[in-house]
Chain A
Amino acid sequence: MKLENFTITEIQQKLKEKEFSAIELCNWYLEKIKKEDEKIQAFITLTEDLAKKQAKKIDHLIQKGEKLPSLAGVPCAIKDNILLEGTKTTAGSFILQDYLAPFDATVVKKLKNAGAVILGKTNLDEFAMGSSTEYSAFFPTKNPLDLTKVPGGSSGGSAAAVSANFCSFALGSDTGGSVRQPASFCAIVGLKPTYGRVSRFGLIAFASSLDQIGPMTKTVQDCEIVFDTIKGKDELDSTTVEVQEPIFNFSLKNLILGIPKEYLIEGIEKEVEKKFFEVVKFFEKKGAKILEISLPHTKYALSCYYIVAPAEASSNLARYDLLKYGKKEKIESHSLDDFYLKAREKNFGKEVKRRIILGTFVLSVGYFEEFYQRAQKVRKKIAEDFEKAFEKVHLILTPTSPTLPFSFGERMKNPVQMYLSDIFTVSSNLAGLPAISIPIEKKPIGFQLIAPPFHEKILFETGKIYERNNE
């Protein structure tokens, strides 16, 4: 049996036509991972038994001729900061090395109910803090398109797993670009939904006013299918909302795309710029109107992000003390305080420590107004820039990342260098907007579409037109 790089829709079709069974498909993927993941290292944990059990359940439904749920038999992977009951969930950190998730995250529950076959948990930068997976406590993941390059991050394991065809789709989390930037680096599709659209119950919190879970897929169509499965209000996450999806008559001829002049900055690589303008030309040729717009506070977005995100992280990560859960480790200490210091010093990586200290600093007396409060006010200005822009345009079109995938170690020396990787993606987290990254010509270069809140459907419709015409 030869199994190719199937999309979700193709898998569903072939299962129904009995071209292969769900268990055959599941085994084929597991074998492939066992054989090839040694060189890519996308996975931290394989959930073989769970996957086989789920696949057999789907085969049983097929045999009985029952109606199949939307992701029946589709093999997927989950970023290792999302809880999967009874399975190790490390968040890429030594401090959670032995942590067994006591329940399913809401998104995982929804995937299971939709019949998806979960193959394993994928690598990430520790607590999702990073843009390359080099900050994973365990090992860096390699980019399947070029093993000497990083896959991006922090959802680098998920991006690599989809790109290497170790699964049909994966879930990632995006706080400042952690779904979209690795999607761009690995030539796949990645979506950060509107803040409040997808439940974060069971996502290990990094920066709670920015975090969203999003699908990472091979096509825009698949992205839509996964998004439709995981979205929705959840009693267990009070930030989720039930929304009436905006109704629109979609046609490229009526579509106005805005290109922010502030995004075409110095430092953007020539190849990225060139490919991006080919995409602009494509949409123009198809009848969309292209308009230059201004988002004047763009140059402050990264500064704003690197105050807000560490501040929230310093508070969210205060709970890891090695007393309640996480890891069995004997630590000699003479007081409770001494225990905390030793446990956290030993088990947190450098980037996590940097951010905790920075976050503590910007929240401390005397600096709160100067840094944190100011950043939150600038954040409001950034959001207002978008509101104004969306009075004139339907969507905003930008590159996803200013560069092609970089080499290992290249950006480890200076943290600000690593942060610059997120320069085009952080703004939509700060403003809570939905944004999608779509690969250009299967190259590790993505373009990004940003929409007003809850307009994910326009992202999909526009993306699908690009995809259909560039296969």
Chain B
Amino acid sequence: MFTEKELKKLASLSKLKIDPKEIEKFQKEISQILSYVQKLKEVETQDKEMLYFSWLKERKREDLPKDLFPKKDLKTYFLEQKNDFLKTKKIL
């Protein structure tokens, strides 16, 4: 079972706040999922590599700037703008 302390730690790492009234429910549900996935421990995996798709070989392209989509339009859909700047909330 997941302890309350563990849950709170994970929530803070995930930048999430859990409503104190819901902590117990979250603890129970996440423990349920974790106990379900414990099954994987039965599988012998020592000599195994992790999966990658064989048809997606390592492919690199040259790092050259390209005009793949129009950046000027991106601005139009930003929630708020001022002069030529994109406006966000004050964060400091």
Contact = CB atoms under 8 A, between A and B. Distances in A.
A314 B40 contact: no
B59 interface: yes
Contact of A380 (B42, B50, B91, B92): B50
A206 interface: no
Interface in B47-84: 48-51, 53, 55-56, 59, 61, 66, 68-70, 73-74, 76-80
Interface residues of A, number: 69
Given A375-B40, A376-B51, A238 B59 contact: yes
Nearest to A306: B37
Q: Majority SS of interface residues in chain A?
A: helix
A357 B7 contact: yes
A302 B92 CA distance: 43
B30 A354 contact: yes
Nearest to A302: B36
Nearest to A431: B51
Interface residues of B, number: 50
Contacts of A371: 37, 40
A306 B89 CA distance: 35
B40 A304 contact: yes
Contacts of A236: 68-69
B43 A341 contact: no
Interface string A108-125: 000000000000000000
Interface in A312-330: 314, 318, 321-328
Contact of A306 (B14, B36, B78, B91): B36
A196 B36 contact: no
Nearest to B42: A300
Contacts of B56: 195-196, 239, 241
A432 B53 CA distance: 7
A323 B91 contact: yes
B73 to A, nearest CB: 6
A379 interface: yes
A466 interface: no
A470 interface: no
Nearest to B53: A432
Secondary structure call for the B interface:
loop
A353 interface: yes
Contacts of B68: 235-236
A360 B10 contact: yes
Interface in B1-28: 7, 10-19, 26
Contact of A345 (B18, B29, B77): B18
B70 to A, nearest CB: 8
A85 B41 CA distance: 46
Given A238-B59, A323-B91, A414-B32, A383 B51 contact: yes
B39 A299 contact: yes
A56 interface: no
Nearest to A342: B17
Contacts of B43: 297, 300, 374, 377-378, 381
Interface in A411-460: 414-416, 419, 430, 432, 453-454
A326 B73 CA distance: 17
Contacts of A327: 79
A86 B77 contact: yes
Contacts of B18: 345, 353
Contacts of B7: 357
B92 A415 contact: no
Contact of B88 (A323, A358, A381): A323
A377 B48 contact: yes
A360 B59 CA distance: 29
B49 A380 contact: yes
Interface string A327-355: 11000000011011110110010000110
A333 B15 CA distance: 14
Contacts of A302: 36
A103 interface: yes
Interface of A: 85-86, 98, 100-103, 195-196, 235-236, 238-239, 241, 243, 297, 299-300, 302-304, 306-307, 314, 318, 321-328, 336-337, 339-342, 344-345, 348, 353-354, 356-358, 360-361, 364, 371, 373-381, 383, 414-416, 419, 430, 432, 453-454
15 contacts: A100-B77, A300-B40, A300-B43, A321-B15, A323-B91, A336-B92, A339-B91, A340-B15, A354-B33, A377-B45, A377-B48, A380-B48, A381-B45, A416-B36, A432-B53
Interface of B: 7, 10-19, 26, 29-30, 32-34, 36-43, 45, 48-51, 53, 55-56, 59, 61, 66, 68-70, 73-74, 76-80, 88-89, 91-92
The 9 A-B residue pairs with the shortest CB-CB distance, nearest first, are A376-B50, A377-B45, A377-B48, A345-B17, A303-B37, A380-B51, A100-B77, A379-B51, A102-B77
